Structure 1
Amino acid sequence: MNRRELLAFASALGLAPSLASAQDADPAAAARDAWLYALPLIEMATTRARVLSAPGAAINVLRHDRELTDHTKRWVTTPNNDTLYSSAFVDLTQGAVILTIPATGTRYYSVAVMDMFTNNNVVLGLRTVGGQGGTFTLVGPGQAATGMNPTRIATSYAWVLIRTLVNDDADLPAAHAVQDGFSLKGPEAGAPPVFAARDAAPAAYFAAARQLLAADPAPPTDLRILRRTASFLGAGPFDAAAAAKGVETARMIPILAKGRQTFINGWSYPRANMGDYGQDYLYRAIVAVQGLGALPTAEALYMKAAGDDGTGLYKGDGLYRLTLPKDLPIDSFWSLSMYEATADGQFFFTDNPIKRYAIGDRTKGLKRNTDGTLDIWIGRTDPGGERSANWLPAPKAGPFSLTLRTYLPRAELLGGQFRFAPIKKA
């Protein structure tokens, strides 16, 4: 695809709800759309293989991370440093899986159950269940909805991702006790095969996509795009030349998307369909690369800062400042996370001398202004003096990005009546 064609497609990134276009009859365009459509399945399968490669890991077995994520953990892009993760991939082909949630009191938690297309089929947490816990029966396609609190999952394989809030290091034992109360009980199942990853050659990528779709079929609402892309996701015939051209373009889309976000007062706010995408296949593909496992907006809002030039990246060596009001319109917690940017469009925590990867409402020692507002100082070097208490370290070199998380946002934040102030150069 030439530059003109690429820019024309990129201009639709924030507009078109699906990948359908006037180029329906173009085999390369079909390959492009097929690659993007299948990308969430590929990313989920890659994550599943990574999770199951850990010692002691198995299907239908919940594993707990006992430490907060830091710069050494790179199993999923844009992680948080606020919650402990508990994770399992479940196989519902052999029968239902029983999920038990303990009583958590007022501690924030969420249990997101995502299908293989990365949609949050259900989020069980303080917002939906409360702090009393309960037992839930995860039921796969075509299975009878029996058992306690039957919960329908759209695909036979699914990802259970649990977040348990940690206040500080002293709170870790109590958070571990809550984690230990979560459990999964289901039939024994073998690990599924390992599939080609995002960077695979087109033929291998599409072969993996076809296998994944066979294991976890798409919903009927996707029939149109599956018919248009049958040469690559269906029975064929496979057009190798069109696949090469289309995939080359498709791989650029998540990268282009980073530079085409809409920023309001210095922040990019997620779409209302974050985490439950419907036919918005393009947005779904972009989030799969840039924020796999994202929660729906009712549960959490993730805002990305505009960066130096509206690309979402900061490259300067100077000091930046974010000022937050005394009170935020949220019912749980907030944090500002620092990430170093990788060449393939992913974001991970960066090593720093004070081991601070995020600043939030639970960060000890923060110094507020006399009016209750909070200045956060962002830079590669310690700003010194009283500013040191509120310093969020940036990487020693290279581009970085900032994500502001707000959990259980109130209506004024969800509806746009409240907006954050921009990050400014100090």
Structure 2
Amino acid sequence: MNRRDLLAMAGALGFAPGFAARSALAAGDPIAARDAYLYALPLIEMATTRARLLKAPGAAVNKLTHTRALSDHTARWVTTPNNDTLYSPAFLDLTKGPVTLVIPPMGKRYYSAAVMDMFTNNNVVLGTRTIGGEGGTFTLVGPGHASTGPNPVRIATPHAWLLIRVLTDGGEDLAAAHQAQDGFKLSGPAGGPVAAYAARDAKPEDYFATARALLASDPAPATDLRILRRSAAFLGAGPYDAAAAADGVQQAKMITIFAKGRQVFTGGWAYPRPTLGDYGQDYIYRAIVALQGLGALPVAEAMYLKAAGDDGAGVFTGDGPYRLTLPAQLPLDGFWSLSMYEATADGQFFFTDNPLKRYTIGDRTAGLKRNADGGLDIWIGRADPGGDKTANWLPAPKSGPFALYLRAYLPRPELVDGRYRLPPVVKV
């Protein structure tokens, strides 16, 4: 059977396009290079974020640092930040033994402490939803180590990212939120030195060398053996053809930029896949989220909904005004917010500067004008809509493409399973 017959059979079995089932992939096959690039992208993005965070004054491995202000247009340390919670990140090194996390009593204030392995899977989310507001002490344990500490939590890779979110309304509430942050404690063996790694825009040979180094530091699970064998020329010992590598990397970058066929918009919104935050073998989705929303929580904790935009694929290019009309209460047990992001050329999203210094509108935003039924009209555009509409204006960038994301924390089952759908954003 020749290669064309193998590909035809793969298609008939439903394995193509995407990560096609092939009995053999030569080191000169750009498809193998494409798949290898996408598979390794979450590792690359995690390493890049770790390096960026460790440059902050006082930052170190196995040490919490606290952001004391809500993210604004100057925040560029992670794509699609939120403007609802204060972050307290720490990159973990569990190679020398477990690390202890103390969570203080939080009362009714929303919080989450997510621990992601280096493949960006949420191994655990300790927070309002899972352990309540009383706090506790937890022992984070890496592969190959035992734990005699309280409440052991097994982490899938020797290195990981702890990302704590603490809800605040800002302003007068910041002091109390800072006190809550300070109650989180992290202790354990000092982390080892962190090597320098190439970023996603590196030359293919440097990218794949970094991917191999990261896989040696944080081995893949056995359930990924199939793709690792298929991409062994690029993610393993090699060798591989340089031209095929360059071609495959270019294909992969186009996938991450356009994400064609991977986002389905229903009624004007793209809803997250059930695998968000714990991806299994959905490697393309995992890669796209690593680029566009690194650190995303699983859907049981939060849903990230993207508006379809003018192009039907998630990007707005018009001046507006646009309107989003929401009911008085969305089906959730937490809170919601609609965030405005300027879109970068490489597919990432960041808050945009604006005259109101307003980056989100949500159910906790002060001064909003509600309709007679308690519902809310949110006005979106580059220019102030004027009059009473100004109170509900979410400013868009002065120029260039932008995107809208709605976050729904602690969503109820009808939102998670699709029985409830958001109304669309409409051009007025």
TM-score range, shorter chain: over 0.9
CA change 1:393–1:269 in 2 (3 A) is same
CA change 1:395–1:67 in 2 (3 A) is same
Find the counterpart in structure 2 of residue 75 from structure 1: 77
Find the counterpart in structure 2 of residue 235 from structure 1: 237
Find the counterpart in structure 2 of residue 169 from structure 1: 171
Distance 1:302 1:110 in 2: 16
1:30 aligned to 2:32? yes
1:142 positional shift: 1.1
- The answer as to whether partners of 2:291 and 2:347 remain within 8 angstroms in 1 is yes
1:28 positional shift: 1.1
- The answer as to whether partners of 1:338 and 1:357 remain within 8 angstroms in 2 is yes
1:308 aligned to 2:346? no
Find the counterpart in structure 1 of residue 384 from structure 2: 382
Secondary structure at 1:212 match in 2: helix
Find the counterpart in structure 1 of residue 7 from structure 2: none
Secondary structure at 2:305 match in 1: strand
Distance 2:260 2:251 in 1: 15
List aligned pairs for 1:332-371, cutoff 5 A: 332-371=334-373
Find the counterpart in structure 2 of residue 99 from structure 1: 101
Find the counterpart in structure 2 of residue 4 from structure 1: none
List aligned pairs for 1:265-414, cutoff 5 A: 265-414=267-416
Distance 1:133 1:17 in 2: 46
Which residue identity is paired with 2:19?
L
CA change 1:180–1:73 in 2 (3 A) is same
Aligned residues: 415
Q: 84, 87, 105: which one pairs with 1:85?
A: 87
Which residue identity is paired with 1:133?
G
- The answer as to whether partners of 1:145 and 1:151 remain within 8 angstroms in 2 is no
Find the counterpart in structure 2 of residue 144 from structure 1: 146
Secondary structure at 2:44 match in 1: helix
Which consecutive unaligned segments of at least 5 residues does structure 1 have? 1-10
Distance 2:284 2:44 in 1: 14
Distance 2:262 2:40 in 1: 22
The superposition leaves residues 200-252 of structure 1 with CA deviations (integer Å, 9 ceiling, x where unpaired) of 00000000000000010000011111111111111112321211111111111
1:49 aligned to 2:51? yes
The superposition leaves residues 268-305 of structure 1 with CA deviations (integer Å, 9 ceiling, x where unpaired) of 00000000001111110110001000000000000000
Indicate the RMSD between aligned Cα atoms, in angstroms.
1.8
- The answer as to whether partners of 1:259 and 1:312 remain within 8 angstroms in 2 is no
CA change 1:24–1:359 in 2 (3 A) is farther
- The answer as to whether partners of 2:262 and 2:285 remain within 8 angstroms in 1 is no
1:20 aligned to 2:20? yes
Which residue identity is paired with 2:203?
A
- The answer as to whether partners of 1:113 and 1:122 remain within 8 angstroms in 2 is yes
Which residue identity is paired with 1:189?
G
Distance 1:254 1:24 in 2: 25
Taking structure 2 as the reference length, the TM-score comes to 0.94
Which residue identity is paired with 2:239?
P
CA change 1:326–1:261 in 2 (3 A) is same
Which residue identity is paired with 2:341?
Y
1:256 positional shift: 2.1
Secondary structure at 2:49 match in 1: helix
Find the counterpart in structure 1 of residue 6 from structure 2: none
Find the counterpart in structure 1 of residue 41 from structure 2: 39
Distance 1:153 1:97 in 2: 11
- The answer as to whether partners of 1:156 and 1:216 remain within 8 angstroms in 2 is yes
The superposition leaves residues 67-95 of structure 1 with CA deviations (integer Å, 9 ceiling, x where unpaired) of 00000010110010000000000100011
1:379 positional shift: 0.6
Find the counterpart in structure 2 of residue 183 from structure 1: 185
Find the counterpart in structure 2 of residue 6 from structure 1: none
CA change 1:15–1:306 in 2 (3 A) is farther
List aligned pairs for 1:204-283, cutoff 5 A: 204-257=206-259, 261-283=263-285
Secondary structure at 1:376 match in 2: strand
Percent identity (aligned):
71
- The answer as to whether partners of 1:18 and 1:281 remain within 8 angstroms in 2 is no
- The answer as to whether partners of 1:339 and 1:400 remain within 8 angstroms in 2 is yes
1:18 positional shift: 7.0
Which residue identity is paired with 1:20?
A
Which residue identity is paired with 1:34?
A
Structure 1 segments of 4+ aligned residues over 6 angstroms from their partners: 14-18
